[in-house]
Structure 1
Amino acid sequence: MGGVGHALRSNKHINTMNPASYTSVDSLSFMFDIGFSLKSSNYEENNIKSNARNSSFDYLAMQFRLHPRIGMVIGFTPFSTVGYNFSSSGNVPNSNNVSVTNTYYGDGGTNTVFAGLGFKVLKNLSIGANIGYLYGNQEYSTTATLSNGGDYTINYRNLNVKSYKLDIGLQYTQPLNKNQNITLGLTYGLGHQLNTTEVIGTQVTDGSSYSSTNEKTYYDGYGIPSTYGIGLSYQYKNNLTVCVDYTRQEWSKVKLSDVSGMYNDRNKIAAGFEYIPNTLGRNFLERISYRAGVYYTSPYIKIPNDISGTSYSDGAKEIGVSAGFGFPLTLFQRKTVLSITGQYINLSPSNKNLMSENRFVLKIGLTLNEPWFMKWRVN
């Protein structure tokens, strides 16, 4: 649905974007949600094209009710990922007979384990909070290899993150009549400096022995931005849901190794809908969820145009469209939903000499809705 979620309330899926939505869980249900993605990316830079295919684990969460007014979620999700390996070659200055090949490598990522509570303050008003542990390792290196077989140089950077993440949310639902209602959703993610350890150094090697020089360790040099979100949703019975979201991330206030001014504030606008012809219909096609969405995200990173760093270009703006289906796999009292979504994403930088990307994504999600807390009248 284009990534909307600030104002989305559903007892069929887990919405971790706004923890206030946890109060919508059915009192008899235990929900378990898991998702994966298959990706195919086409890159282009200076008329050079390349393709990469990979897969990723997206999320894992479970939701249940602790009290008639309190819902809880426990989950795991990747926060960021790094993965690249490419090289470029050129002649060594003042030497026409020797060339150097630079190989750029990056691997790793950061993950979040979190727990959240949603509390129903009034009949139509809920608040909630997620508290998470942010952790992970990222490795970066640039290896310079000479064509004459001499020693080669490795510049490396290893980053370790161990910190926290806090998000809070609010949702208010206003009934229009017995069949229609609208929901206003507000979210806030706390921005702060992360607890990080960064090791930067250089190695010179002949392939068998290594010598390290200029290795330095830095602490707490990275941060995450404050994030504000507002959303509005319209729901007609259990058949139609329409959502619109706006999200702002204050990247301009984030420092990188005590250097500010390297980012722009990031803005995202998203809209999406879900339509179910007949939730109780006997025809299987009538019970399928039909979903679609679109979003636009402004660039947040600044990229130097030259080595001096006196001028910058904005990074890539991002546009995405998605469409998919939720297939009900009902068996006895179990309400399982298999979600399949196709997504197209375009990333285009303001500087045409920088790399652009067209990405095709197939997302697969499985939601298990089990009646664990039902008490039978007859055993």
Structure 2
Amino acid sequence: MITRKKIISRLVLTGLLATLTIPCAHAQNNSERSPYSRYGYGRLGERMTAGARAMGGLGAGLRDPNIVSPANPASYTAVDSLTFIMDLAVSLRGSYLSEGSKKDSRVLGNLDYATILFPVSKHLAISAGIMPFSTVGYRFGNTEKLQGDNSGSLYQRAYSGEGSYNDLYLGVGGRIGNFSLGVNASYLFGYTTRQHQVIYSSGSNAINPVDRSQLHLKGFRFDFGAQYEWMLDAKRGKSLVFGATFAPEMGLRSESVLLQYQYNTQTGRSTLLRADTLSSGAQHISPMSLSGGLTYRYKDVFMVGADVSYMKWGSAGDNAGTGARFTDRYRIAVGGEWLPNYRGRSIFSRSYYRFGLNGSNSYVKVPTPDGTLAGYTQYGASLGIGIPLVDRRSLVSLTIDYSYLHPQASGMVKEHSLGLTVGVTFNEGWFRKARIN
């Protein structure tokens, strides 16, 4: 006979092995094309699944038995004691960039995340998965006149970069009465590659210098969460959930590989001039962060909430080699969910309709054309629907989100992007006893 402990152990092993196959896909990411990802750690990812993304990115106060929410590990105890949840998603994003009269557009896609969540007992639950921590992806350049050359010869400066850092986590949440506590232990890893090349147009045997750097990061990080569910009216299903999270600052191990070589356009060969490898245990960090949130729920029909978060990036100092500087980041999100009729006959009456808004400032200030440093403000709006499958527990979540990046100084790039996330949440009754009629 297969005991409950054997089933749980097999599920843990299966889930962890499944998540370990995802980093290869993330290493070859194809989800970002923003010049701002050149700075800092790239464009930061948010710890959210498709359902939470549709609600503006609610996290600290979100407590939903159908949504895996790694943003607050205390939320794991909301899972039904007889179910096993696996949540996977892919995303597609189109971006539109403008700088004065110059414009560019891209459409990119990628595997987004993979998570699992299951109960160990009535008051204890475990989650594991992999999510993006940050992503680098850019390609841009500018053309200038060659100084000292009266013929008007030109040369081009070309910048490019790619890569990602991933967050592989294992979390546990426990509940006593209406109070829940949780902790995530994460392993952050990955690498990014950045390249700066000068391309001369004069002469068939021009020597073009190329600087390339590759940054490897790895290290552990921990975050703690708490939630309290206050039943306003148990008979009518009215409740408030107060949530909070805290993550201490943690140092990351880094290895930076710096290469400098020359490319001969006539021979097509590259000559390595310099190669350095620098290792450090204190130069890069995962910052201290805090968040708080509140959600109001009426039965399974309606839920609305708000979140505020803070990340102390300012202690990371300067971003070496790019001229940028880290700064503290604030983010606010509001969102909600509506379920017309859980027992309705129509699939649309049994679907979850979600909406949300969010806003944040940049965690880096970047060099501007006039020689100063400036950041940007990012605004977002999202809509989504969770469509139940045949078993009425599993869901297909479709989320559309719009983001506008507004720079704080003139002459900087503006960004508009529209994304589609398709998530599949398998909610299986793995621990229910079979009945024979």
- If the TM-score is normalised by the length of the shorter chain, which range does it land in? over 0.9
- Give the superposition deviation at 1:295: 0.5
Alignment map for 1:1-379 (pairs within 5 Å):
1-97=55-151, 98-120=153-175, 122-147=176-201, 148-149=203-204, 150-178=206-234, 179-206=237-264, 207-213=268-274, 215=276, 217-220=278-281, 221-256=283-318, 262-305=325-368, 311-313=372-374, 315-331=375-391, 335-378=393-436
How far apart, CA to CA, are the structure 2 residues paired with 1:296 and 1:271? 9
- Give the superposition deviation at 1:88: 1.9
Question: 2:3: which partner in 1?
Answer: none
- Of the structure 1 ranges 255-264 and 84-93, higher mean CA displacement relative to structure 2 is found in 255-264
Q: TM-score, normalised by structure 2?
A: 0.82
Q: TM-score, normalised by structure 1?
A: 0.94
Instruction: Answer yes or no: is the 8 Å Cα contact 2:324–2:364 preserved in 1.
Output: no
- Give the superposition deviation at 1:216: 5.0
- Give the superposition deviation at 1:82: 0.9
- Give the superposition deviation at 1:306: 6.2
| Secondary structure of 1:253 counterpart | helix
After the TM superposition, which segments of 4 or more aligned residues of structure 1 sit over 6 Å from their partners?
257-261
- Give the superposition deviation at 1:284: 1.9
Instruction: Answer yes or no: is the 8 Å Cα contact 2:257–2:275 preserved in 1.
Output: no
Q: Deviations over 1:238-265 (max 9, x none)?
A: 1101110000111111234689992221
- Give the superposition deviation at 1:209: 3.6
- Give the superposition deviation at 1:198: 1.0
Q: Deviations over 1:264-307 (max 9, x none)?
A: 21111100000001111122221111110000102321123469
Q: How many residues align?
A: 373
| Secondary structure of 2:269 counterpart | coil
How far apart, CA to CA, are the structure 2 residues paired with 1:302 and 1:209? 34
How far apart, CA to CA, are the structure 2 residues paired with 1:145 and 1:322? 42
Q: Deviations over 1:59-85 (max 9, x none)?
A: 100110112211000101111111122
**Could you tell me the percent identity over the aligned residues?**
31
How far apart, CA to CA, are the structure 2 residues paired with 1:261 and 1:102? 18
- Give the superposition deviation at 1:16: 0.9
**Per residue, is there more helix in 1 or in 2?**
2
Matched AA of 2:380: G
| Secondary structure of 1:317 counterpart | strand
- Give the superposition deviation at 1:192: 2.2
- Give the superposition deviation at 1:171: 0.3
How far apart, CA to CA, are the structure 2 residues paired with 1:84 and 1:157? 14
- Of the structure 1 ranges 261-270 and 22-31, higher mean CA displacement relative to structure 2 is found in 261-270
| Secondary structure of 2:389 counterpart | strand
Q: Deviations over 1:152-188 (max 9, x none)?
A: 1001111001111211100000000122000000011
| Secondary structure of 2:325 counterpart | coil
Matched AA of 1:100: Y
Q: Which runs of 5+ in 2 are unaligned?
A: 1-54
